[in-house]
Structure 1
Amino acid sequence: MAAVCVLLVLILLHKTDLCSSVAVSSTDAVLITVDQSGKGDYRRIQEAINAVASNNSELVYISIKPGIYREKIVVPADKPFITLSGTEGSNTTITWNDGGDIFDSPTFSVMASDFVARYLTIRNDFGTTGKGIALRVSADRAAFYGCQILSYQDTLLDDFGRHYYYNCYIEGATDFICGNAASLFESCQLHSLAKNLGTITAQHRNSPSENTGFTFLGCKITGLDGGTTLGRPWGPFSRVIYAHTYMSSAISPDGWQDWDDPRKERTVYYGEYKCYGPGADRSKRVRWSRELSRDESLPFLNKAMIGGRSWLRPTPVHFKKHVK
């Protein structure tokens, strides 16, 4: 019976994904350029986003010329199918310095579905004295390629929806990937700035019926020796998987925290599968984390966990000019 229910959910998700993509061509897009020198359609990124029609139903590709853009960006919920692309993650930077509330402080907030970001640095310069979110993703079907996401505490608020991060660099010290999304991080680097008591993830799954969690596949963890754990439970059924991931000596021997609530040790799902490096030694891991078998790890080792085959789209190859 449980298997039938899971199958029905997957079918419904698949139908939803198909409905979301029929309105757009995967190879054609409206091209908008952002250039601080004035040679593009707009000088500021938010101006380009504002120019997209509400209830948009076609792909919009916003090409951002290199530079440091001091802006607080919001992609509103009524503007799906937008791609924001720099040329290299290291030379196209969006930065702000707000702190405090996790929903108000982000430098960059994605509220629209079917969003893509490529080759951008997204940074919050708030500092080390509190929460300063660089990127908030509160929408379904969002993908990030070759991006750098930088802050100190709560760097990436991976709030809800299905998300894919590929070849991204994510930096922070405390709970620097947090939220209740269903997300696959593939070939990403996670860099801890913590000298001690650092935590990479704070996943917020609240019940076993929620199909959410963070999977890190083929990633690399770096940072100062011994000061960081792999995660702690924001929600009682927090779920985080690391597979085929290099763990440097930045990872503490115990590996995981219970956030001073031993009751959560019985309900969290924290797993490791074929990880390697000095921080992957499980001989001193907390007893309530799991060394996964091949069969246990299989559901987390591909894009099926986020339904990605039906909504991840290629970069457009044909463009038409934006008309102001």
Structure 2
Amino acid sequence: MAGSTPAGAAGSIPPVIAVVGPTGSGKSDLAVALAERLEGEVINADALQFYRGMDIGTAKMTLEERRGVPHHLLDILEVHEEASVSDFQQQARAAVAAIHARGRRAILAGGSGLYVRAALDVIEFPGTDPGLRRRLEAELADEGMAALRERLRRVDPVSAQRLGDARRIVRALEVHELTGRAFSSFMPERRYLQPAVQIGLEVDREELKERLARRVHRMAGAGLLEEVRALEARGLRGGRTASRALGYAQFLKVLDGEWGIDEAVADTIAATRKFARRQLTWFRADGRIAWFGWQDPQLVPKVLEHIAKLEG
């Protein structure tokens, strides 16, 4: 099943089209192909492609590859700034409204699952408090992750069980202190804000693993180390989001003399494959997504036919 809200029910409002799937599956190419045929514009939903200068390591499409299709929410942050899903939610929804007002189609493309949900679904994001965040991070450094997870378990056992890294545990505690509500309470049932259709790219996992390895080698050969060096001068190390990005974290270690390029490449390949598995798990949990073979020569016509059927 695809979207839970049929397009025809909304009158003249066309559904937002979202192209999702794991990294390396061809989401950007499909989004451009659909935009060319539907008079559409693409909205980026890959959190790392928000960053100016993070081009090679994020496989950001070049202007030539975009083939004249307008793209939104690319290159909107500096590397020292932190990506915010709540900010993205506002920006993405504003972009959708503006695209529809022009009589064109909004096509969301990206593999950051929470960002896709933020754009499409009825979902609320709590605010932040930098001072509270700093205090919790200091407590994390002093007490360790196990102690903070136990504290979280007492107020939000669902999040304590589900969250696997220190950063998210700190965020869950921050939300509880700010709102008095469990962090898990901010993830409601899947329900579209407005008509939407999600297209998922079904991959052969073994072939994807090899494709991702080749892609990382290409990135290294295309100058990823030089890109990281240039971004370091612009504040990369101070960026919470950007400095942890796949490839960038590893190649910072090359600059520090901790690793050689071969070690950085190998670790990036392993981390990217793990990330792709997590993406697949996330998107597979959403029963509204219609899946299509990533290498089907009739992929674009089949997706267009699916969208047309939903629109009645």
TM-score (ref. length: structure 1) = 0.26
More strand by share: 1
TM-score (ref. length: structure 2) = 0.26
More helix by share: 2
